[in-house]
Amino acid sequence: MKNDDINKELRDLAPGLEKLKGENPFHVPADYFESLPESISSRIHSTSSSAKRDFGFFTLPRLAIITTSVLLFAFLGYFFYLNMPSETYLTEAEQELFDNHLAWYSNYQTDAYYDIIMDNDNDTEMSELVFDEDEVLDYLLSYTGYYLDFPPDAAEDLW
């Protein structure tokens, strides 16, 4: 009944094609359909095992690589953080230049000089610095030649 309907439809539409119907010009190699179920089973088996392999040899190592990379970066980051220089060190030449400059500067800008030698702490006021009077005199006499302006007897008093 189903075929009759289809054939009638074709006859009405394209009668030339009805005559050609029923022949299959294609063919397959001998015993193809007998062996096809086995080929399909083999392919199913191989895709199942490759899916397992994917998990075993590719998926898991991928996770391991990601985890190891994260841990390695964290470790290296921590290592560099610990070993990061906390101060800027000067080269020997820079240090010498800086000392010379400081010595020269101290002759003119006493307060600023103290600021510098007190680690640039500008909030530190001179009034907060407590110097022993003997220390001051000792310093002046030893390093600045300031005693030359003293009256000789005053210097003798000092000594």
Partner 1 sequence: MEHYSDEQLLELFHNSDNPNYAFNLLIKKYQEKVYWHVRRLVIDHEDTNDIVQDVFVKAWKNLDNFRAESGLFTWLYRIATNEALTFLKSKKRRFFIPWHDVENTLTQRLETDAHFSGNEIQKKLQKAILSLPEKQRIVFNLRYYDELKYEEMSKILDTSEGALKASYHHAAKKVEEYVKNH
Per CB under 8 A, residues contacting partner 1 are: 2-3, 6, 10, 13-17, 20-21, 23-29, 32-33, 36-37, 39-41, 43-44, 47
Six-digit token string for 139: 């310093």
How far is Cα 121 from Cα 4, in angstroms, rounded to an integer? Answer: 107
Judged by CB, which is closer to partner 1: 40, or 76? 40
Measure the CA–CA gap between 136 and 57, rounded to whole angstroms: 79
Q: Are 7 and 18 in contact (CB under 8 A)?
A: yes
User: In the complex, what is the shortest distance from the CB of residue 62 to partner 1, in angstroms, rounded to a whole number?
Assistant: 23
Q: Which residue, among 146, 148, 124, 128, has the nearest Cα to 137 in the 3D structure?
A: 146
Q: How far is the CB of 54 from partner 1 (least distance, A)?
A: 14
Place of tokens 């080269």: 91
Q: Which is nearer to partner 1, 5 or 92 (CB)?
A: 5
Contact 115, 121 (CB under 8 A): yes
Pick between residue 50 and residue 69 the one whose CB is nearest to partner 1: 50
Q: How far is the CB of 42 from partner 1 (least distance, A)?
A: 9
17 or 64: CB nearest partner 1: 17
